[in-house]
A and B are shown apart, each in its own frame.
Chain A
Amino acid sequence: EPEVTQTPSHQVTQMGQEVILRCVPISNHLYFYWYRQILGQKVEFLVSFYNNEISEKSEIFDDQFSVERPDGSNFTLKIRSTKLEDSAMYFCASSQWGGRTGELFFGEGSRLTVL
């Protein structure tokens, strides 16, 4: 069964360092998302991406965050200068038709620990 894969599964970084989280969405999907979840709490929307551009972003997704689809298969989330409060589980999701009409398929997450 096709699945969303994320790497790394766990990354530890120092405050102020740049981090790139990678995702390989399901191959025929067109809509891509990043969510984060802090310590088993609520799943918070960060950004959605369609047709090679951001379609929606939340108030969390400030200038420190960026997303990219560099090669037609990977979808990356970059955090430019990490803060302690960026420590969370980051989930990538993809959807064939968009969240309004179909299922979001989530990866297993990348745990980011900022020291």
Chain B
Amino acid sequence: QQQVKQSPQSLIVQKGGISIINCAYENTAFDYFPWYQQFPGKGPALLIAIRPDVSEKKEGRFTISFNKSAKQFSLHIMDSQPGDSATYFCAATGNNNDMRFGAGTRLTVKP
């Protein structure tokens, strides 16, 4: 099942800092790359997503950077806030109906 590799496993950032989470994929058929955010006791919820025809997508404080040749993509959270503390999952899917998730990164933003 390990088609999407995510790092780091956990991340601690000071309030106002930049959080960076990295993912790499193997399957070149993947063409949709979402990031999901999960708070304790809740299901994952879509945060932001990108397709490989662009190298970057920004929504507010959240940016995805995508490197198609390296088969890597990353999530940057600017001006990180304590309310951003959650587990973040990258995911990937292609021309089928099975979205595969990375192992998750537990982000803690310290006040």
A residues in contact (CB < 8 Å) with B? 4, 31, 33, 35, 40-45, 48, 50, 55-60, 91, 93, 98-101, 103-104, 106-109
Contact = CB atoms under 8 A, between A and B. Distances in A.
A110 B46 CA distance: 20
A99 B97 contact: yes
Interface residues of B, number: 27
Given A106-B43, A108-B41, A43 B1 contact: no
B71 interface: no
A92 to B, nearest CB: 8
Given A41-B104, A43-B104, A100-B97, A58 B1 contact: yes
By secondary structure, the B interface counts as loop
Given A42-B103, A48-B98, A99 B93 contact: yes
Given A60-B1, A108-B43, A43 B93 contact: no
B103 to A, nearest CB: 4
Interface of B: 1, 31-32, 34, 36, 38, 41-46, 49, 87, 89, 93-104
B46 A45 contact: no
A50 B97 contact: yes
A45 to B, nearest CB: 5
A31 B89 CA distance: 21
A73 B76 CA distance: 38
B46 A103 contact: yes
30 contacts: A4-B43, A33-B99, A35-B101, A40-B104, A41-B103, A42-B104, A43-B36, A43-B38, A43-B101, A43-B104, A44-B101, A45-B98, A45-B100, A48-B98, A55-B96, A56-B98, A57-B98, A98-B97, A99-B98, A100-B31, A100-B95, A100-B96, A100-B97, A101-B32, A103-B46, A104-B44, A104-B46, A106-B43, A109-B42, A109-B43
A106 B44 contact: yes
Given A42-B102, A56-B97, A108-B42, 17 more contacts: A40-B104, A41-B103, A41-B104, A42-B103, A42-B104, A43-B38, A43-B89, A43-B101, A45-B100, A48-B97, A50-B97, A60-B1, A99-B93, A99-B97, A100-B94, A100-B95, A106-B43
